[in-house]
Amino acid sequence: MVRCGGPKTTQGGDVGDANANVIETRGLTRTFGGFVAVKDVDFAVRKHALHALIGPNGAGKSTLFNLLTRFLPATRGTIVYRGTDVTRTPPATLARRGMVRSFQISSVFPHLTTHENVRIALQSRHRETFAFWRADRSLKHYDEEVRTLLADVGLEPYAQRLATELPYGRKRALELATTLAMQPDVILLDEPMAGMGQEDIARTAELIRRVGEGRTILMVEHNLSVVADICDRITVLRRGEIIAEGSYAEVSADPEVRQAYIGSDHD
Ligand SMILES: Nc1ncnc2c1ncn2[C@@H]1O[C@H](COP(=O)(O)OP(=O)(O)OP(=O)(O)O)[C@@H](O)[C@H]1O
């Protein structure tokens, strides 16, 4: 296995350090019955990285992602976020601490406008109840922040459109806006390019690159040309284990990685 320029261990380290690891795992393992989907993974995501998790089908990417976002309990091992053990912390608590999982389109309210969806995300951050019936004027103080967030993701022209009417790529931009409303330091993206055509892919890749400035992003992504374009660190999984880490150039030159992809349906 190659590990190129790997992040230094900073368990408990301070994220003020540019090289600090925001997320670290130790011996992270998940079994399903007798099957080991993620096996003894020691993994780190460096502050302000745009980090991709790749690997052939069935490598364990989604399982590792679900463990990190606490959607799935670990069988063994630990997950540390900003120096604190979060192995058993609920996803909502993690989100309030700045680690937010995005691109769950189901979390968008389809029959509300783009603007209303972002406003509700802001209300949620402020722990207000979703008072749809509240007088318009009491919700107006969110307007400026909503407009800023919509501008950040290029959705200003769609502000008054119902979410359900948005083209697919724009729905994902809306999801990203509702994520940004949580003021995340770390954004976790599950296959952000899935189901998109070329034009949406190019725009979404640029959007992710832009929102990643000053933030940390970890994404599972099948589209290797997007990964090559925007990610500065790549971890390759195979059969639940890390087989390589480094820049795209480094991991794509690794014989074990090339071997892992042979016979898979990836390009
Ligand atoms: N809930 C489950 N029950 C049983 N086996 C599971 C479960 N979830 C995942 N697995 C198995 O764990 C292995 C890893 O699956 P996972 O979905 O994490 O891989 P992946 O790398 O995300 O694959 P893909 O790229 O195809 O989405 C696979 O063999 C899968 O069949």
Rounded mean pLDDT, 135-162: 86
In-domain check, residue 230: yes
Distance 256 CA to ligand 1 centre (A): 21
The count of structural domains within the chain is 1
ipTM for the predicted complex:
0.97
31 lines ligand 1 (CB under 6 A): no
Pocket test for ligand 1, best of 30, 32, 190, 220 (most atoms within 8 A of CB): 32
In-domain check, residue 156: no
Instruction: Return the bridge partners of 79, or none.
Output: 25
Tell me how far apart the alpha carbons of residues 179 and 166 are, in angstroms, rounded to a whole number: 17
pLDDT classification of 124: cutoffs 50, 70, 90:
confident
Tokens (6 digits) for 213: 């400035």
pLDDT of amino acid 102: 82
- pLDDT digit string, tens, across residues 20-40: 899 999 999 999 999 999 999
Distance 105 CA to ligand 1 centre (A): 21
In-domain check, residue 33: yes
What are the phi and psi torsion angles at 181 (to 5°)?
A: -60, -25
Distance 78 CA to ligand 1 centre (A): 20
Q: Which residue has the tokens 């130790």?
A: 26
- 215 and 186 in contact (C-beta within 8 Å)? yes
Nearest CA to ligand 1 atom 2: 32
Nearest in space to 187 (alpha carbons), one of 63, 124, 104: 104
Q: How many residues does the chain have?
A: 267
pLDDT of amino acid 119: 92
The better pLDDT of the pair 211, 128 is held by 211
Q: Which CATH number do you get for residue 30?
A: 3.40.50.300
Say what percent of the chain tops pLDDT 70.
84
pLDDT of amino acid 267: 46
Nearest CA to ligand 1 atom 11: 37
For the whole model, what pTM was predicted?
0.87
In-domain check, residue 37: yes
- pLDDT digit string, tens, across residues 161-193: 999 999 988 998 999 999 999 889 999 999 999
Distance 72 CA to ligand 1 centre (A): 12
In-domain check, residue 227: yes
Tokens (6 digits) for 132: 């749809």
Q: What atom in ligand 1 is closest to the CA of residue 60?
A: 18
Distance 57 CA to ligand 1 centre (A): 8
Q: What atom in ligand 1 is closest to the CA of residue 66?
A: 18
168 lines ligand 1 (CB under 6 A): no
62 lines ligand 1 (CB under 6 A): yes
Range of the domain at 242: 1-88+223-267
- pLDDT digit string, tens, across residues 100-112: 988 655 578 999 9
pLDDT of amino acid 25: 97
Nearest in space to 152 (alpha carbons), one of 138, 173, 170: 173
Tell me how far apart the alpha carbons of residues 183 and 188 are, in angstroms, rounded to a whole number: 13
pLDDT classification of 14: cutoffs 50, 70, 90:
very low
pLDDT of amino acid 6: 45
Pocket test for ligand 1, best of 30, 35, 266 (most atoms within 8 A of CB): 35
Contacting residues for 178 by C-beta, under 8 A, at least 6 apart? 107, 108, 117, 118, 120, 121
Give the relative orientation of helices 198-211 and 168-180 as an angle to the nearest 10 degrees. Answer: 10
Rounded mean pLDDT, 250-255: 94
CA 247 to chain centre: 18
The answer on pLDDT for 1 being more than 70 is no
Nearest in space to 122 (alpha carbons), one of 108, 100, 142: 142
Instruction: Give the least confident one: 70-84, 123-137, 147-161, 235-249.
Output: 123-137
Edge to edge, the sheet with strand 35-46 lists 35-46, 21-32, 76-81, 84-85
Distance 62 CA to ligand 1 centre (A): 7
- 163 and 113 in contact (C-beta within 8 Å)? yes
Q: Regarding beta strands 241-246 and 233-238, do their DSSP bridges make them parallel or antiparallel, or are they unpaired? A: antiparallel
Rounded mean pLDDT, 80-86: 95
What are the phi and psi torsion angles at 162 (to 5°)?
A: -65, 145
The amino acid at 126: H
In-domain check, residue 176: no
In-domain check, residue 108: no
Tell me how far apart the alpha carbons of residues 149 and 156 are, in angstroms, rounded to a whole number: 9
Which helix (H) or strand (E) is 227 found in, with range? helix 224-230
The answer on pLDDT for 13 being more than 70 is no
- pLDDT digit string, tens, across residues 41-67: 999 999 999 999 999 999 999 999 999
pLDDT of amino acid 108: 85
Nearest CA to ligand 1 atom 3: 32
In-domain check, residue 130: no
pLDDT of amino acid 138: 63
